[in-house]
């Protein structure tokens, strides 16, 4: 099966979570040696199908800009599979679906957990796994994608939240947002 056809099947699988889609993408880049125009086209098509997947935006933006995306893909795969930090504070733990310096997005059950904790004044620690810290311009796309999939989405200002485990931020790769000729 051609790598782009494989990615298309991954993107069509609606039940696949954001992490699985991102891991499949970096595995494909590393295993099939995608680079250059083929990599850009694959990233754009996959993001068009799964704009809700913050880890995919994070990985794709780095790979599209990398001078050697094949070797970088192996590093990104290891980072995406990394352990979540241990949180020892009291209170509730909620996972961010995506965040930037200014905003945090919660999706699905984490929306309800966050809102409930706030309503009853329980302290909240927001876990930000590797792959969800994005350039602010990507957050709107993640939000639109999650809402398009029918997920509950809540946005909160990052200021004042205890955020744990923030990895590196994705660069802004304008190539990912181009729609012409792809």
pLDDT tens readout for residues 37-80: 888 888 888 888 889 999 999 999 999 999 999 999 999 999 99
pLDDT (mean) for 13-26? 82
Strands 103-107, 153-157: pairing is antiparallel
Is 182 contained in some domain? no
Structural domain including 145 reads 92-164
Please report whether residue 20 resides in a domain. yes
Phi, psi of 88 (to 5 degrees): -105, -10
Tell which of 49, 82, 115 closes a domain. 82
Residue 178 resides in a domain: no
Mean predicted lDDT score pLDDT of the chain: 87
Number of domains in the chain: 2
Same domain, 8 and 76: yes
What tokens appear for 90 in the block? 């009291």
Tell which of 51, 82, 113 closes a domain: 82
Residue 94 CA to residue 111 CA, distance in Å, equals 8
pTM (predicted TM-score): 0.87
From 37, 64, 82, the end of a domain falls on 82
Residue 13: pLDDT over 80: no
């Amino acid at each position: 099966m051609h790598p782009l056809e494989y990615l298309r099947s991954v993107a069509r699988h609606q039940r696949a979570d954001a992490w699985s889609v991102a891991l499949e993408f970096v595995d494909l880049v590393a295993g099939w040696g995608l680079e250059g125009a083929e990599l850009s086209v694959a990233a754009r098509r996959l993001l068009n199908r799964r704009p809700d997947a913050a880890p995919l935006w994070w990985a794709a933006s780095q790979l599209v800009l990398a001078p050697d995306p094949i070797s970088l893909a192996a590093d990104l795969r290891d980072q995406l599979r990394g352990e979540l930090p241990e949180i020892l504070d009291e209170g509730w733990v909620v996972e961010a679906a995506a965040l930037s310096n200014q905003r945090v997005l919660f999706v699905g059950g984490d929306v309800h957990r966050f809102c409930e904790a706030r309503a009853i004044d329980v302290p909240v620690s927001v876990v930000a796994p590797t792959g969800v810290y994005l350039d602010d311009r990507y957050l709107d796309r993640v939000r639109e994608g999650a809402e398009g999939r029918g997920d509950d989405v809540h946005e909160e200002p990052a200021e004042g939240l205890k955020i744990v485990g923030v990895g590196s931020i994705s660069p802004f790769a304008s190539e990912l947002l181009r729609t012409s000729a792809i």
